[in-house]
Amino acid sequence: MASHIVGYPRMGPKRELKFALESFWDGKSSADDLQKVSADLRSDIWKQMSSAGIKYIPSNTFAYYDQVLDTTAMLGAVPPRYGWNSGEIGFDVYFSMARGNASVPAMEMTKWFDTNYHYIVPELGPEVKFSYASHKAVNEYKEAKALGVDTVPVLVGPVSYLLLSKLAKGVEKSFDLLSLLPKILPIYKEVIAELKGAGATWIQFDEPLFVMDLEAHKLQAFSAAYAELESTLSGLNVLVETYFADVPAEAYKTLTSLKGVTAFGFDLIRGTKTLDLIKSSFPEGKYLFAGVVDGRNIWANDLAASLITLQSLEGVVGKDKLVVSTSCSLLHTAVDLVNETKLDTEIKSWLAFAAQKVVEVDALAKALVGQTNEDFFAANAEALSSRRSSPRVTNESVQKAAAALKGSDHRRVTEVSARLDAQQKKLNLPILPTTTIGSFPQTVELRRVRREYKAKKISEEDYVKAIKEEIKKVVDIQEDLDIDVLVHGEPERNDMVEYFGEQLSGFAFTANGWVQSYGSRCVKPPIIYGDVSRPKPMTVFWSSTAQSMTKRPMKGMLTGPVTILNWSFVRNDQPRHETCYQIALAIKDEVEDLEKGGIGVIQIDEAALREGLPLRKAEHSFYLDWAVHSFRITNCGVEDSTQIHTHMCYSNFNDIIHSIIDMDADVITIENSRSDEKLLSVFREGVKYGAGIGPGVYDIHSPRIPSTEEIADRVNKMLAVLEQNVLWVNPDCGLKTRKYTEVKPALKNMVDAAKLIRSQLSSSK
């Protein structure tokens, strides 16, 4: 029985690639140094999978930024502003597209489906001159082969690539991106021919768009694309991989009828309905890659249940055509549980990271042919039983409190317009008030202080003193810049979710459970294993301390329940919305304690609310109902004069704008600049937003410093569709990933732009 891994984490068990990338970007190491680190990581990954017994091992899943940007480079689809004309695309152009440079901004970044991973959005139009400009796929295949590992090269499929793209600036909205298929398929043919020439016998096309609600002409594009590629693919085994959800019935028919395709991969964890389609109709003689090991969560597989599923599929497709696989790339999970030497032993027994999931896949494949590892299966059954019966999972009082939420929508009693009036009397802010999103740069020294405190190398007294000094520095910087509503900079926090999870019951934490979010940015998601509650206040001391240092309003900074949920590894033994309501009640307690502590502006970030939106439209309403309700629970008890902010970033918000309004926040700050101000289009189309709103005026994920004039121009575009009395001026997101040498001039220009527009508005009266 064969086994397959869709993809694997690329950062390394100790984030080796992250540090190599940042060293290269800072000019401290060379391109050769970066390539050496990445080659060593790839070698380790391929050898690990080979040693584990995996037959179909992926290559070309190792991206320096993301796999869609890799495809953009392969196709030579570089926007003209980066000055590339021909030749192999190198790091300078590649990273300029991802991060921008001193003279031009980066391309748009958005979420990869409903995950916390991001990709750089291709900018396409009729004028793009495609060419074969990156040979990475072929080079990586050859690299693995030289190590004695025959891999399955992975490419983002041509149709998914186009459907994940956006129209370049100035391209008519009526232009159909799928009309570019005839221009990109010749390049795919070149790549395929080179891979065949290098000895590849299998190739994997990731076509995740198959799980979306697609119109007939989009499904037809898949058929046309693979019919065109059929002759080039001749002699290869071709796998088309889907993931993250069920494949709709019509899409399933199209997928399983594609010309030249010999295998189909399905996510059978999040796509359980697809099982029925497979059992009722699967093309004879084709391979089924059955994704029964979860690539997006960290819970140990129920091996006995998976084996039953696989055995039922054997009768449909035949023993020799069934391949055991992961549900999606393991990119979305942590790397290796072996590195977790301090994690609670019982909880650790319930988990499986990427390395362990590789072993699970192999164990299931062997069990199907009668080579069951009895000890491994017995240990798995014992761990599952332990988790089901453990008293640490259940808290009866929390469950009762969450159950009591039913029957109320938890709205604040007063309308937002009246609340804003009450808040203005208290805060006395100018028009176009300026603020930032929360975090300030996390310096090497600051990280050292936190690290030494955790390791008990410095006392609590010394730690508190150091953090207070950092807060004072951040407050002084903001006052010097004349920012209106301040933040304390979050120096006590390494991560916005991890910080809260560490102080909530029902959460566990890892030492090295890092997961890539974008580029070199890694997060360490908490593990929600049980019922959630707040034993004591979490942020009140630091927020009150910061407020005591200034007469200006100081925001209390919290992470919202939906974002904590979506950025954690969530328990899979109860519905997600039940866990979210528990988190909401915990955050509600914190909000009310902040208000009692004298904090008049409280920001409850819901950066990941859009991210959790199901991929199928039929499931949107239920999710948005409980997600928005969870946010309202957190702040339904505050006074009218307490201003509630929320923040969202790097997603397409236009299709959920009415749910955003329904959140009933007093002010929302929201990403806008990197997406070419796409957000503003909803207001141009007539959507009325009566609360305060701060569409971001500059992209913080690029080192580029925008000018005062550029920011003023953005603000004027906003004023064309939004009332001046509701508009705020702020960056796109938090500033923790930037340096002070970038932050100070950018914020100065932002404040100067706000003052310039205020002056213009005043003189025009």
Question: In this predicted structure, what is the pLDDT of residue 674?
Answer: 64
Percent of the chain with pLDDT over 70: 98
**The pairing of beta strand 515-518 with beta strand 521-523:** antiparallel
**Terminal-to-terminal C-alpha distance of the chain:** 78
Known binding residue 580? Answer is: no
Pairwise pLDDT comparison (497 vs 653), residue with the higher score:
497
User: Tell me: the pLDDT tens digits for 662-696?
Assistant: 999 999 998 887 666 666 777 777 778 889 999 99
Neighbours of 584 (CB within 10 A): 29
CA nearest to 752, candidates 762, 763, 744:
744
721 contacts 129 by C-beta, under 8 angstroms: no
Known binding residue 522? Answer is: yes
Question: In this predicted structure, what is the pLDDT of residue 409?
Answer: 82
Q: Which residue has the tokens 């008519």?
A: 172
Known binding residue 437? Answer is: yes
289 contacts 323 by C-beta, under 8 angstroms: yes
Question: In this predicted structure, what is the pLDDT of residue 157?
Answer: 98
Contacts of 39 (CB under 8 A, 6+ apart): 143
Distance between CA 43 and CA 758 in Å, rounded? 58
Distance between CA 115 and CA 467 in Å, rounded? 33
Known binding residue 488? Answer is: no
Check pLDDT > 90 for residue 235: yes
With cut-offs at 50, 70 and 90, classify the pLDDT of residue 592: very high
Question: In this predicted structure, what is the pLDDT of residue 102?
Answer: 85
Active-site annotation, residues: 701
Known binding residue 521? Answer is: yes
Known binding residue 666? Answer is: no
151 contacts 46 by C-beta, under 8 angstroms: yes
Known binding residue 649? Answer is: yes
User: Tell me: the pLDDT tens digits for 121-173?
Assistant: 999 999 999 999 999 999 999 999 999 999 999 999 999 999 999 999 999 99
CA dihedral 446, 643, 526, 733 (to 10 degrees): -60
Q: What would the mean pLDDT of 727-745 be, rounded to a whole number?
A: 94
Known binding residue 599? Answer is: no
CA nearest to 641, candidates 422, 414, 418:
422
User: Tell me: the pLDDT tens digits for 238-267?
Assistant: 999 999 999 999 999 999 999 999 999 999
From residue 652, how far is each of 120, 245, 296 by CA, in Å? 13, 19, 22
Known binding residue 76? Answer is: no
What distance separates the 2 farthest-apart alpha carbons in the chain? 84
Helices (H), 134-180: 136-146, 158-163
Known binding residue 439? Answer is: yes
Question: In this predicted structure, what is the pLDDT of residue 362?
Answer: 98
Question: In this predicted structure, what is the pLDDT of residue 130?
Answer: 97
Question: In this predicted structure, what is the pLDDT of residue 573?
Answer: 95
Q: What would the mean pLDDT of 525-532 be, rounded to a whole number?
A: 96
**3-state class (DSSP) for residue 702:** coil
Residue 556, exposed/middle/buried by CB under 10 A (0-12, 13-18, 19+)?
buried
User: Tell me: the pLDDT tens digits for 273-326?
Assistant: 999 999 999 999 999 999 999 999 999 999 999 999 999 999 999 999 999 999
Q: Tell me the pLDDT of the chain averaged across its residues.
A: 95
**Packing angle, helices 354-368 and 31-52, rounded to 10:** 30
User: Tell me: the pLDDT tens digits for 322-344?
Assistant: 999 999 999 999 999 999 998 99
Q: What would the mean pLDDT of 446-464 be, rounded to a whole number?
A: 93
User: Tell me: the pLDDT tens digits for 166-198?
Assistant: 999 999 999 999 999 999 999 999 999 999 999
Residue type, 677: E
Distance between CA 528 and CA 505 in Å, rounded? 9
User: Tell me: the pLDDT tens digits for 54-92?
Assistant: 999 999 999 999 999 999 999 999 999 999 999 999 999
75 contacts 133 by C-beta, under 8 angstroms: yes
Question: In this predicted structure, what is the pLDDT of residue 765?
Answer: 67
CA nearest to 101, candidates 93, 90, 89:
93
Distance between CA 336 and CA 511 in Å, rounded? 11
Q: What would the mean pLDDT of 694-705 be, rounded to a whole number?
A: 88
Residue type, 187: I
Percent of the chain with pLDDT over 90: 88
Known binding residue 671? Answer is: yes
Structure tokens at 687: 């959507």
The pTM for the full model equals 0.92
With cut-offs at 50, 70 and 90, classify the pLDDT of residue 651: low
293-327 per-residue burial string, b: 16 or more CB within 10 A, e: under 16: bbbbbbbbbbbeebbeebeebbeebeeebbbbbbb
Known binding residue 602? Answer is: no
Gyration radius of the chain over CA positions:
26
Pairwise pLDDT comparison (493 vs 297), residue with the higher score:
297
Tell me which H or E stretch contains 339: none
Question: In this predicted structure, what is the pLDDT of residue 665?
Answer: 96
Domains in the chain and their CATH numbers?
2-389 (3.20.20.210), 411-495+540-763 (3.20.20.210)
